[in-house]
Amino acid sequence: MTVIAVIDLGSNSVRMTVSRYHHDGSYEVLARFQEMVRLSTGMGPDKVLQPEAVARTLTALNKFKQALKVYDNDKVEIHAVATAAVRQASNQAEFLIAFKKEMGFELNVLTGEEEAHFDFVGVINTFPINDALILDTGGASSELILVRNKQAVHAVSLPVGAVNISESYLEKDHISAGALFSAIVALRQLFGDISWLRESINMPLIALGGSNRTLAKISRKKEKIQGMAVHGYHLNVGEVALIYQNILKKDLEERKKIPGLAKERGDIIVGGLLPLVELLLFTEGQQVIFSQSGLREGILFEQIAANTGHNVVSPEPAAMTIDTEDL
């Protein structure tokens, strides 16, 4: 048995999943950790990681390092990856040096294509789907993957996510119509430039990422649903529209009080949900299915297959039913 820790350093939060896998390809999740770090805050057009954001991130990572000491008696395999914020950063090299000094191991900066690939692996191994469009909305990027006959046939990473949409276009408190319209125009132009996106017309949309999962959690609270996991939860386009309209009506303090919405996400939830809302309109989508499995699970599944020679055919159920707070 081997313990594997997957660290996902995103633009909004840093997360770590610790699992133990066996020679037959089975596994169980031992622990999950996450901290909101807002690494991409204030990067601006020069794409510079700010000292305060870097300090927050390194402090959170140190907590993860301390947590891993519990497994000192096991063989621990660590896979640490970074996504859009570090990928786009003009001072990436300095940050990677600081990361290694703090953690004692390397940070792998994923390309947008690699990020989309691991999202696909995480989804395809946990959902019985043939055709779908996958959307992973992060803090500073969004990945789109078109799935046909269980194969990823197209993928793209767009440089827009919850944090940078909010910083670039939207007010922090009450969102004005003009600001929202500017963000919508920018997104529609990005979607319009993707030649294959019209191939996903009427396909179910599988949504990953903290902002998107928050939509499911708000719905569960609204409908007073208990005991149903986010993974596999679904909403029709009308339900999505009603929830988003309700969020738009509220100022920041009111958004922080919405049941199911972590208050730390209140200032970026409007921007964070906008790619999903606009994508439903663009593709004439009728249904959203939410996934708890994505990048970290995709890395885990590939490592299990590489190390054991066995695919993860039926992931351990609790891995998909335990909700995260999605800061």
pLDDT tens digits along 154-171: 999 999 999 999 999 999
Pure H helices in 126-260: 162-169, 177-192, 210-222, 237-248, 252-256
Reported as a single tens digit per residue, the pLDDT across 53-76 is 999 999 999 999 999 999 977 789
Output the CA torsion 259→264→269→275 (10° steps): -120
Reported as a single tens digit per residue, the pLDDT across 264-284 is 999 999 999 999 999 999 999
Reported as a single tens digit per residue, the pLDDT across 37-54 is 999 999 999 999 999 999
Taking phi over 0 as left and psi of -120 to 50 as alpha, with beta for the rest, 156 belongs to beta
- Using N-to-C axis directions, what is the helix angle for 210-222 and 237-248, rounded to 10°? 90
Whether pLDDT at 318 is above 90? no
pLDDT on residue 320: 58
Domains, the chain: 2-112+295-321 (3.30.420.40), 127-290 (3.30.420.150)
Q: Give me the residue label for tokens 């430039």.
A: 193
Q: What is the mean pLDDT of the chain?
A: 94
Whether pLDDT at 311 is above 90? no
